[in-house]
Amino acid sequence: MLSASFSASTPAGRRYISYLQTADALVSKYTGAEPLAAYLKKYFAANKKHGGSDRKHISTLCYGFFRLGNFGIEWTESIRWQTVLFLYPPAEIIAKELLPESWQLHLADPLFDKFSWLATMGLSGNWLSIFPFIHLLSENITVNDFVASHLRQPDLFLRVRPGKWAQVEKKLQAAGIEFNKVGADALSLRNTTSIEQVLKIDEEVVVQDLSSQRVAELFQHIPTDSAKPLTVWDACAASGGKSILAKDYFGPIRLTVSDVRATVLHNLAKRFAKAGINTFDQRVIDLSKAGFALPPQQLVICDVPCSGSGTWGRTPEQIRFFTEEKLAEYNHRQRAILTQVAPTVAENGFLLYITCSVFRSENEAMVSWLQQAFPFRLVESKLLAGYQHQADTLYAALLQKVS
């Protein structure tokens, strides 16, 4: 039994062993059929005996388990849990109670030194197997740093809307909330920070990952005319974050948003109202199928459905349950969407292709296919390497339609 592999001489230690037993049972029964967050929420709702501190520690252990990906998957149950406590910083309070003294001596070591020490202990598994899809990665990814980033929870990022910086800063300081300015309009905060009672979401700030904010760097290539608002279609609008970004960057635009889900567009409309976007066209469209008509658009934003592999630092359970077969399905759907969307781009207009993926087949290879299938030239592409900033990693490519 797992409990037999750990010993504790204090009440806190014995409580932590109980947490480990619960976490072990939870991860062993988890199938990946729903997000881990939803799975844990259901469990805690059905087991009221766990207080707030219990839930926090059990959740930390479950997430730490999946953050190891395939690293040490062949080891014994107890060794793998020791490795979770050793490598995952949020579990350190438990590690200091339960790990053997020889392990505790290295708790403060740099991460790569920890991997080296594990090897000296005979635990010589390839730590890069934390992310077992390295062979599929896009170009220009620093593999060691990217893989290691999965052992950290990404930060919470806010984008301050135009003209709102002074009041946002004042409110955060008055509330005693720590933050860092990481860009002209970007703030980073601890992931657990609660801001809903402090700031007006979507009016003063947008909750938006740093790399998603950086997509606006590609907007600089798009010419504008103050006398004639840009026509913009956010084709896979979802919650509308890219639409609000475009509105804040370009000013007045003629905006169309679409999604395959009517409920999503309903929620988007409420969000737009908070953001001060009152004039826009919305349509329920299945972009993978023909049968819709739009006038030519000067800018089409196509943030396609994808593996989401650049965001697995937030949902590490995906690492365990994703398969290359699923990637092929995403690629097929992406080509189907681009086939329908590309003809709507006006002559000399622009297509902004975006994924939250780190996989070459969804990124560079898809843009190459698009250029072969349609008359586009690549203006600029960027791998937005969020793993360098405790953020998500995205890919964005701006293409211009040519005659």
Question: What's the pLDDT at 9?
Answer: 80
The one-letter code for the residue type at 281 is: D
- Which residues are CB-neighbours of 199 under 8 A, at least 6 positions away? 158, 168, 171, 172, 205
- Which residues are CB-neighbours of 385 under 8 A, at least 6 positions away? 140, 141, 142, 146, 211, 393
Q: DSSP strand E in 219-340: where? A: 230-234, 253-259, 281-284, 297-303
Which domains does the chain possess? 2-130 (no CATH), 156-207 (3.30.70), 211-401 (3.40.50.150)
- Which residues are CB-neighbours of 169 under 8 A, at least 6 positions away? none
Segment 99-143, tens digit of pLDDT: 999 999 999 999 999 999 999 998 878 999 999 999 999 989 999
Q: Is the pLDDT of residue 389 over 70?
A: yes
Q: Using an 8 Å Cβ cutoff, are 283 and 292 in contact?
A: yes
Give the H or E element holding residue 180.
strand 180-181
Length of the chain: 403
The band of 1, judged by pLDDT with boundaries at 50, 70 and 90, is low
Q: Using an 8 Å Cβ cutoff, are 302 and 354 in contact?
A: yes
Question: What's the pLDDT at 373?
Answer: 97
In angstroms, the first-to-last Cα distance of the chain is: 69
Average pLDDT rounded to a whole number, residues 282-300: 93
Question: What's the pLDDT at 17?
Answer: 94
- Name the 3-class secondary structure at 378: strand
Query: Between the CA of residue 72 and those of 98, 354, 366, 396, what are the distances in Å?
Result: 19, 34, 34, 34
Helical residues (DSSP H) of 163-316, grouped into ranges: 165-174, 210-214, 241-250, 262-275
Q: Is the pLDDT of residue 3 over 60?
A: no
Structure tokens that stand for 139 in this block? 């170009």
The band of 2, judged by pLDDT with boundaries at 50, 70 and 90, is low
The band of 184, judged by pLDDT with boundaries at 50, 70 and 90, is confident
- Name the 3-class secondary structure at 19: helix
Q: Write down the mean pLDDT value for the chain.
A: 95
Question: What secondary structure letter does DSSP report for 8?
Answer: -
Average pLDDT rounded to a whole number, residues 53-77: 95
Question: What's the pLDDT at 88?
Answer: 95
State the helix-helix crossing angle for 77-87 and 11-29, rounded to 10 degrees: 110
Structure tokens that stand for 175 in this block? 């509330």
Instruction: Say how far apart CA 15 and CA 307 lie, in whole Å.
Output: 38
Structure tokens that stand for 211 in this block? 């790399």
How much of the chain exceeds pLDDT 90, in percent? Answer: 92
The one-letter code for the residue type at 362 is: E
Question: What's the pLDDT at 4?
Answer: 59
Q: Is the pLDDT of residue 183 over 90?
A: no
275: left (phi over 0), alpha (psi -120 to 50) or beta: alpha
Average pLDDT rounded to a whole number, residues 169-177: 96
- Name the 3-class secondary structure at 126: coil
Q: Is the pLDDT of residue 204 over 60?
A: yes
Q: Is the pLDDT of residue 315 over 80?
A: yes
